[in-house]
Every structure is written in structure tokens, then in C-alpha cells.
Structure 1
Amino acid sequence: MPYLSLQDGVRLFYKDWGNPTGQPVFFSHGWPLNSDNWETQMNFLGNQGYRVIAHDRRGHGRSDQPWHGNNVDTWADDIAQLFSHLDLTDVTLVGHSTGGGDLVRFAANSKAQSKTSWVKKLVLVSAVTPGLLRADWNPNGVPIEGLNQQRALLLKDRAQFFYDVPEGPFFGFNRPNATVSKGLIQSWFNQGMQASIKSTFDTIAAWETDFRPDLRSLDIPVLVIHGDDDQIVPFGVGNQTVGFLKNGRFKVYEGGPHALPNIRADEVNNDLLAFLKET
């Protein structure tokens, strides 16, 4: 399995699939998951001739579990080191939930550091941008009490919490007439428990990040996708993102839950392919 040893000694696991000379697409996963949660999209685009790459964020999946560095700036720097290692250019970035946040920071940093050849386009799926925390400018965000409750539940009984989330709001399985997949629930639990408790706890603080300056700095094409029944990142948060972009568009998935790459996989796959084919 491929690993990259980062500058601070952390080993980062990544997948590099599909056509090695194809147009590259890089995926960043949500909390508390890993690159396996993108396997449907990676398999689809890989079979379409694209080079598809995804990593396990530090502290998650098969990557090392350091005590420090579980924050947006370090995650963005880890991605930059991986891009340098793989000599990537003209990449379309695709981020889900927390992964949308670290990719927005990475894209903004890349532009600020004059590495504009790295990033061609960006797709944000159910992302935590422009900010998850409730504020005067973000009245539909999650109150700090809600984030603190998640911290408490994680520390009290992480295993039970990591069943409650996928059995309920993450996939929308708590909605009437929902078709429940026990396999998706178990997969979410397995991926979550593979991450360290420290990284999963620290990530909650990262959700308090204000990504508005990062978004404003971007001039690349950005596709923002959000479900209007997202119980994790409220629709009233996600639908603001495009307003801070110079070259963004917004697509609503009616009735869509937070887990669009899983629950609405075919639609996400087709939207990604169409966006990739645009010149």
C-alpha cells in the first residue's frame, strides 16, 4: 500500500487508481471516515479514464495517528506535500463535508503561494463551508452547544456515538420511509473506529473555522452541491458558499441527506463527470 512520509514524520496513506496518464481527480473525505468512503466515485471515474487519488487524513484510516496536527492548516499542508510527491497538476478537487474545508484551505494556499498549476477546479459536496458554527453572519449554523454535545458524546462512549450518527442523521435513515442499509451503517462505524479518538475529537474544533476568506480568494470554477435535507451541515449553511465565490455554481439535491456520495451516488457520479468534461 502506498504511503508518503510527511515532513513531521507522519505516514500518510493514499490511493492512486485509474489511468496514470488521465486527468487527475483528488478526493478528500469527511469525518470520521477515510478514503474508502469515496470508492464508488473513484471506481466510476477510474473506469472513465481518469486518474483518481484519495488519502486517509492524518489520524484517520490507515494513516498514522499523531497527537498533534489535527487542524485545517496541517491537513492542507499534508495535501500539498502529497501533490508535490506525486507531481500533480491541473487537478480537480472533490471534498465531502470536512474534506470540503481542507480542500478550500489547500486551494487558497496554493493560489497564495503561486502554485496555481496544481488546482484546476473544485467540487464541494455537503461541505462545512463557509462555516459550520452559528454566528451573526451565519444564523443557520450549528450553535457551539451542539458541537460541545458532540464532544461530550464522543468522549463518553465513542463506539455508541459512532453507531448513532450513521443510524440516524448522517444517511437520513431516521426519516420516515427511508431505505436503511445496515452495510452503510457498519461501514461508517468501522471507518470511524479506525480513526483515533484524538483526531476525531480535534476535528470538531476545525468545524468552527471561518472559510469565507479562503472562498473569496478563489477564481477557479467551483461546483457546490448540497442536499436540502442535510441534518449534519444545515442547508442554510451550505447554500451560502456560492455567494463568496467568484466563479461558483450551486446545485440542490432535493430531499438529499448529508451522505450524498453514498445515498445519491449515481447523481453525484454523473455531476462530477459532467463538470470534469467542461472546458
Structure 2
Amino acid sequence: MRLLLFLLFFGFSSLLLWSQESPSHPVNIKAKYDSARVDFTQFEKKHGGFVHTKNVKMHYLEWGNPRHTPFIWVHGSFTNAYEFADLAKELVQKRYYVIAIDYYGHGQTPIPTHDVSLYHIADDINTLMSVKKLPKAVIGGWSRGGFIATAFYDAYPEKVLGLVLEDGGSVATNTHYHQLPDSTLNAQVKSIFTDRFASATFDTEFEAYKAYYDYSSSGTQFELLAWLGKDSEGKWTIGAGVEKLFHMRNEVEFKETILRPTKASLFGKSMSLIEPKIIYRNLHVPLLIIDPTSPNDLFPFEKDNAALQQQHSKFITHKIYPNTGHNVHYEKPKEFLEDITAFLKRVAGP
């Protein structure tokens, strides 16, 4: 099923409705929705759970045997734990225990009423590990989730077996953008908001499901329900409150997060100021950097990643994916899974 977002700078997304052209054959969308509700409930009963932390009631999905090597996945911006569902099934067959979380404002985890940061999510993951009686785990993440994985290593290095960073978390986010001329940066930020669509809102969950249903595909697409939630006015939408949390609601906030992070929200500030070069100065666990490259590379950090790998050649594996966009695990799931599996085997041992 196609993703419901197009990722831009910082994992920021414009939420777009799929074209609602009439399908070539009739689809009873109400029946699809009713079935999706049943499928979603059954899936959550089997794989879903919640943990109460100091910050929030956090939702997660889990697969496999808790006695096997644990692998905790942190999703990217404007997505949720379901992004890892298909890959988790494959890893379970290879004897890994997989947990994927929803962090603030994503999936079924609300945004806390108090200020929070990447490090608060690291604390939430630590609580989850304590509840699950996991003394250590491999921590992985994509985009913003990669930075959360890095924050977790910074806060709880003794609880990390290894790290997987998919295009995020290995190089400071502002390294590249601070080097751009003002005119170039202004043009890039302006282009994001010029053609940007606001996230649509709906009176009912069914109407939202209907709007985002992929008519070119089939099945109930029950995962859609994990994306949908209510905003402050009770309307159904995707990512309610997340742009405010990230401090990226408009051009001014967007540039403040880059250039003047002390003016940003605590969450936005923590994203801008985290410095992997400092955090990984005493790296002592295996780390896999998954580094996609393309002409319009979101994070053109291959040189910085290579330098980090040379600094810690004993621990870091740097995998470059040529001609690949930001979301490697979606674009090239086979290659991604092969690299993840080889890395986890190295971490878990024979």
C-alpha cells in the first residue's frame, strides 16, 4: 500500500489526499471500512499494547518471542509503528523479537500537555523496556526516529546492544543547511510552503478512511486507521498538532528551527541541537548507518557518515543506497532487510 505522505526536509510532510477518481469497477467503500475496523481490532488485540510512562500513554506493536534478541524500531515523521509491520514479520522468522513504537502525535500516542523532546521519548522507550523486562535491545529508527535512537544511546548507553540509523541520527541535521547561502535556504523553505496542502479534516473516521483509501489497490487497508485521529475540534485528520510540536507550521517557524533553535519548541530545539559527533565520541556498540543518496538528497551526509565510520571502524557499518530516496525501507525493502538481518546477526552472535 502506498504511503500517505511525501517526505520533505527534516522528515517534514505535506499531507495530501489521493486523487478520488472513480475506480474502474465499483467499490463498496462502507463495507471495506466496516471490515477494516474488524481487521484493525483483531490486529491490535494480537500485536498492540500501551505502556504508561511519566510523559504519556504510549502505544506500541510487538511481534515474536520476547526471549529472542529484541529490536525496537522508531518511525519517521508523520508515520507510525505500522510502517514496520511487514519487515517485522520477516525478522520474527529469523528469531528476533520486534517492537515498534508510536511517539507523540503519531498513531495512537497523544501529544503530552507538557513540553517534551527527543529525550523524553528515549525515557518512554526505557520505561517500555523495563516493563517488558528487557535489559538491552537493538534500537533502530528512520529519519527523525533515527535521532530518537541516538538520543536513547546518549541517555541509556548501557541498555543498547546495537543501533540502526536509517537516514537520520548519525549527522547533525543542520550541518548541511547552515552552509547554504541565505538565498538558497530561503528559496528551499519557500518552495515547501508555496505548493503545500493543508491536512484535510473530516467529520467522521469513515469519511477520512474513504478519502485516503487507495482504490488502485485492494483489501481493507486497515492500517489506514492507525493514521487517523481527532484534532482539537473533534475533526478526523492525520498528524493533528504534530507541526506545532515540531515548530514547523510556517516558514518563520521552519527557519527558526534551523537558524534560531532557541526560539523553537523544546521538541524542535532538541532535534536541531542534537550532535551525534559528541554522542558517539565513545561509541562501544555496533552501529549500522543506512545512507540513501540521490540528486535531491534530503540529508546529503555521505561524507560525514564516511568520516564517522572511519573514526569508529571497529563498530560502524556504512551502507550507501545509490539513487534512493529518503525512505529506504519502503523503496528497497529487500535490500534493507538483507542489511538489517546481517547486522542483527552480528549483534546477536551465533
Question: Would the TM-score normalized by the shorter structure come out above 0.5?
Answer: yes
- Shift in alpha-carbon separation, 1:127–1:234, aligned structure 2, 3 A: same
User: In the alignment, which residue of structure 1 is the partner of 2:199?
Assistant: 159
1:242 maps to which residue? Answer: 309
Alignment of 1:38-117 (within 5 A): 38-111=84-157, 116=158
Partner Cα distance (1:35, 1:193) in 2: 14
The alignment partner of 1:99 has SS state of helix
For these two proteins, the number of residue pairs brought into alignment is 249
Change (3 A) 1:243 1:102: farther
2:272 corresponds to: 208
How large is the Cα RMSD of the aligned pairs?
Answer: 3.5
Please give the TM-score of this superposition, normalised by the length of structure 2.
Answer: 0.61
After TM superposition, list the pairs within 5 Å mapping 1:1-279 onto structure 2. 1-8=48-55, 10-111=56-157, 116=158, 118-134=159-175, 139=179, 145=186, 149=190, 157-159=197-199, 190=227, 193-197=238-242, 198-201=244-247, 204-209=268-273, 210-229=275-294, 231-236=297-302, 238-243=305-310, 245=312, 247-278=315-346, 279=349
The structure with more radius of gyration: 2
Go from structure 1 to structure 2 and tell me whether the alpha carbon gap of 1:103 and 1:41 turns closer, same or farther (over 3 Å shift).
Answer: same
TM-score (norm 1): 0.75
Change (3 A) 1:80 1:125: same
In structure 2, do the counterparts of structure 1 residues 82 and 24 end up closer, same or farther at CA, with 3 Å as the change threshold? Answer: same
What secondary structure, in the 3-state scheme, does the structure 2 residue paired with 1:217 have?
coil
Structure-2 residue corresponding to 1:176:
none
Gaps of 5+ in 1: 161-181
Task: Give the conservation status (yes or no) of the 8 Å contact 2:71–2:137.
Answer: yes
Q: What amino acid maps onto 1:271 in structure 2?
A: D
Q: Distance in 1 between matches of 2:189 and 2:164?
A: 29
AA at the equivalent of 1:158: A
Aligned equivalents of 2:300 and 2:287: distance in 1?
20
Kept in 1, the 8 Å contact 2:117–2:268? The answer is no
Q: Percent identity?
A: 22
Where structure 2 has 5 or more consecutive residues not aligned to the other structure, the ranges are: 1-47, 201-215, 229-236, 248-264
